[in-house]
Amino acid sequence: MSGRQPILAQPRHAHEAEAVGSRQSAVAGQQSTIVRGSNLSTVALVILFAWSFAAATILPLASEVPLAVVIRQSGQWHVPVAVATVGNVLGACTTYWLAKAATAAVPSGSARVRQVATRLASYGPPVLLLSWVPIIGDVLVALAGAAGVPFVTFVVWVSLGKLGRYIAVALAVAAAS
Protein backbone atom coordinates (compact mmCIF):
# COMPACT_ATOMS: atom_id res chain seq x y z
CA MET A 1 0.00 0.00 0.00
CA SER A 2 1.44 3.38 -0.94
CA GLY A 3 1.63 6.39 1.39
CA ARG A 4 -0.72 8.38 -0.82
CA GLN A 5 -3.93 9.77 0.66
CA PRO A 6 -7.19 9.07 -1.18
CA ILE A 7 -8.56 12.03 -3.06
CA LEU A 8 -12.01 13.04 -1.82
CA ALA A 9 -14.61 13.78 -4.44
CA GLN A 10 -14.87 17.52 -4.84
CA PRO A 11 -17.84 19.32 -6.41
CA ARG A 12 -17.05 20.26 -10.01
CA HIS A 13 -19.22 23.36 -10.14
CA ALA A 14 -20.06 26.17 -7.75
CA HIS A 15 -23.76 25.28 -7.65
CA GLU A 16 -22.87 21.72 -6.54
CA ALA A 17 -20.82 23.13 -3.65
CA GLU A 18 -23.72 25.37 -2.61
CA ALA A 19 -26.14 22.41 -2.66
CA VAL A 20 -23.81 20.32 -0.48
CA GLY A 21 -23.37 23.23 1.94
CA SER A 22 -27.10 23.90 2.22
CA ARG A 23 -27.82 20.19 2.87
CA GLN A 24 -25.20 20.18 5.64
CA SER A 25 -26.69 23.33 7.17
CA ALA A 26 -30.17 21.84 7.09
CA VAL A 27 -28.99 18.68 8.86
CA ALA A 28 -27.13 20.72 11.48
CA GLY A 29 -30.24 22.85 12.02
CA GLN A 30 -32.38 19.76 12.53
CA GLN A 31 -29.95 18.37 15.08
CA SER A 32 -29.87 21.54 17.16
CA THR A 33 -33.65 21.99 17.23
CA ILE A 34 -35.68 19.30 18.92
CA VAL A 35 -39.10 20.66 18.02
CA ARG A 36 -39.59 21.98 14.50
CA GLY A 37 -40.36 25.67 14.36
CA SER A 38 -39.10 26.45 17.85
CA ASN A 39 -36.01 27.65 19.65
CA LEU A 40 -35.88 24.50 21.77
CA SER A 41 -32.34 23.19 21.40
CA THR A 42 -31.09 19.75 22.28
CA VAL A 43 -28.26 21.30 24.30
CA ALA A 44 -30.70 23.28 26.45
CA LEU A 45 -32.74 20.14 27.10
CA VAL A 46 -29.68 18.06 28.00
CA ILE A 47 -28.56 20.76 30.45
CA LEU A 48 -32.10 20.96 31.88
CA PHE A 49 -32.20 17.17 32.28
CA ALA A 50 -28.80 17.03 34.00
CA TRP A 51 -29.61 19.99 36.28
CA SER A 52 -32.99 18.49 37.22
CA PHE A 53 -31.38 15.12 37.91
CA ALA A 54 -28.72 16.69 40.15
CA ALA A 55 -31.32 18.83 41.94
CA ALA A 56 -33.14 15.67 43.04
CA THR A 57 -30.06 14.43 44.86
CA ILE A 58 -28.53 15.94 47.98
CA LEU A 59 -26.86 18.67 45.91
CA PRO A 60 -28.21 22.11 46.85
CA LEU A 61 -29.66 22.99 43.44
CA ALA A 62 -33.03 24.29 42.33
CA SER A 63 -34.36 23.08 39.00
CA GLU A 64 -37.18 25.62 38.68
CA VAL A 65 -34.98 28.45 37.40
CA PRO A 66 -33.39 26.46 34.52
CA LEU A 67 -36.86 25.18 33.61
CA ALA A 68 -38.26 28.71 33.57
CA VAL A 69 -35.35 29.90 31.39
CA VAL A 70 -35.85 27.11 28.85
CA ILE A 71 -39.61 27.71 28.74
CA ARG A 72 -39.12 31.45 28.33
CA GLN A 73 -36.51 31.08 25.57
CA SER A 74 -38.42 28.44 23.63
CA GLY A 75 -41.95 29.66 24.15
CA GLN A 76 -43.01 26.05 24.81
CA TRP A 77 -43.60 24.21 28.03
CA HIS A 78 -44.60 20.60 27.22
CA VAL A 79 -41.19 19.23 26.26
CA PRO A 80 -39.20 21.15 28.92
CA VAL A 81 -41.63 20.04 31.65
CA ALA A 82 -41.34 16.41 30.50
CA VAL A 83 -37.53 16.57 30.38
CA ALA A 84 -37.25 18.22 33.81
CA THR A 85 -39.72 15.73 35.32
CA VAL A 86 -37.89 12.68 33.96
CA GLY A 87 -34.53 14.03 35.13
CA ASN A 88 -35.83 14.90 38.57
CA VAL A 89 -37.61 11.56 39.04
CA LEU A 90 -34.50 9.63 37.96
CA GLY A 91 -32.45 11.66 40.45
CA ALA A 92 -34.95 10.78 43.18
CA CYS A 93 -34.70 7.11 42.15
CA THR A 94 -30.95 7.33 42.71
CA THR A 95 -31.49 8.58 46.26
CA TYR A 96 -34.14 5.89 46.82
CA TRP A 97 -31.80 3.09 45.73
CA LEU A 98 -28.87 4.46 47.75
CA ALA A 99 -31.04 4.57 50.88
CA LYS A 100 -32.36 1.09 50.17
CA ALA A 101 -28.79 -0.23 49.76
CA ALA A 102 -27.64 1.55 52.92
CA THR A 103 -30.40 -0.03 55.00
CA ALA A 104 -29.49 -3.44 53.59
CA ALA A 105 -26.11 -2.98 55.28
CA VAL A 106 -27.83 -2.26 58.62
CA PRO A 107 -29.07 -5.31 60.54
CA SER A 108 -32.72 -5.93 59.72
CA GLY A 109 -33.65 -5.92 63.40
CA SER A 110 -32.47 -2.31 63.78
CA ALA A 111 -34.86 -0.18 65.85
CA ARG A 112 -34.10 2.81 63.63
CA VAL A 113 -35.14 0.99 60.44
CA ARG A 114 -38.38 -0.16 62.10
CA GLN A 115 -39.09 3.39 63.32
CA VAL A 116 -38.60 4.87 59.85
CA ALA A 117 -40.78 2.20 58.24
CA THR A 118 -43.53 2.77 60.82
CA ARG A 119 -43.48 6.54 60.42
CA LEU A 120 -43.65 6.41 56.62
CA ALA A 121 -46.38 3.75 56.77
CA SER A 122 -48.47 5.99 59.02
CA TYR A 123 -48.50 8.73 56.37
CA GLY A 124 -48.59 6.34 53.42
CA PRO A 125 -46.98 6.65 50.00
CA PRO A 126 -49.06 9.73 49.02
CA VAL A 127 -46.71 11.74 51.25
CA LEU A 128 -44.24 11.29 48.38
CA LEU A 129 -46.24 13.93 46.48
CA LEU A 130 -44.14 16.32 48.59
CA SER A 131 -40.87 14.90 47.26
CA TRP A 132 -40.32 18.15 45.33
CA VAL A 133 -40.14 20.29 48.50
CA PRO A 134 -36.53 21.36 49.15
CA ILE A 135 -34.75 19.43 51.92
CA ILE A 136 -37.94 17.69 53.11
CA GLY A 137 -38.36 15.99 49.74
CA ASP A 138 -34.86 14.51 49.83
CA VAL A 139 -35.55 13.11 53.29
CA LEU A 140 -38.90 11.64 52.19
CA VAL A 141 -37.27 9.98 49.19
CA ALA A 142 -34.50 8.49 51.33
CA LEU A 143 -37.02 7.34 53.94
CA ALA A 144 -39.07 5.64 51.22
CA GLY A 145 -36.00 3.71 50.10
CA ALA A 146 -35.05 2.84 53.66
CA ALA A 147 -38.59 1.77 54.54
CA GLY A 148 -38.83 -0.46 51.48
CA VAL A 149 -41.72 1.31 49.76
CA PRO A 150 -42.34 -0.72 46.58
CA PHE A 151 -40.43 0.86 43.71
CA VAL A 152 -43.39 1.20 41.33
CA THR A 153 -45.47 2.86 44.06
CA PHE A 154 -42.54 5.17 44.79
CA VAL A 155 -42.13 6.15 41.13
CA VAL A 156 -45.85 6.85 40.64
CA TRP A 157 -46.21 9.15 43.67
CA VAL A 158 -42.88 10.94 43.13
CA SER A 159 -43.62 11.44 39.43
CA LEU A 160 -47.03 12.94 40.17
CA GLY A 161 -45.57 15.34 42.74
CA LYS A 162 -42.69 16.48 40.57
CA LEU A 163 -44.83 16.78 37.42
CA GLY A 164 -47.38 18.88 39.32
CA ARG A 165 -44.66 21.19 40.57
CA TYR A 166 -43.17 21.66 37.08
CA ILE A 167 -46.57 22.34 35.53
CA ALA A 168 -47.12 25.00 38.20
CA VAL A 169 -43.75 26.57 37.29
CA ALA A 170 -44.67 26.48 33.59
CA LEU A 171 -48.01 28.16 34.27
CA ALA A 172 -46.29 30.83 36.37
CA VAL A 173 -43.79 31.52 33.56
CA ALA A 174 -46.65 31.73 31.04
CA ALA A 175 -48.59 34.12 33.29
CA ALA A 176 -45.51 36.33 33.71
CA SER A 177 -44.89 36.51 29.97
Domain housing 46: 36-176
Quote the pLDDT of residue 31: 45
> What is the domain count for the chain?
1
pLDDT reading at 141 higher than 90? yes
pLDDT reading at 157 higher than 90? yes
Tell me, yes or no, whether 84 lies in a domain.
yes
Arithmetic mean of pLDDT, 17-45: 58
Greater confidence (26 vs 81) lies with 81
Give the C-alpha separation, 18 to 144, whole Å.
59
Kindly give, in sequence order, each residue whose CB lies less than 8 Å from that of residue 141, ignoring residues fewer than 6 positions away.
56, 92, 95, 96, 99, 128, 131, 158
> Which ranges of 56-105 would DSSP assign to H, the alpha helix?
64-74, 78-105
pLDDT tens-digit series, residues 58-100: 788 999 999 999 999 999 999 999 999 999 999 999 999 999 9
3-state SS assignment for residue 33 = strand
What one-letter code names the amino acid at 9? A
Tell me, yes or no, whether 6 lies in a domain.
no
* Residue among 84, 103, 91, 70 nearest 138 (CA): 91
pLDDT band for 23, please (50, 70, 90 cuts).
very low
Greater confidence (91 vs 111) lies with 91
Give the C-alpha separation, 177 to 165, whole Å.
19
Tell me, yes or no, whether 169 lies in a domain.
yes
Mean pLDDT of all residues belonging to the chain: 81
Report the 10 Å Cβ neighbour count for 93.
19
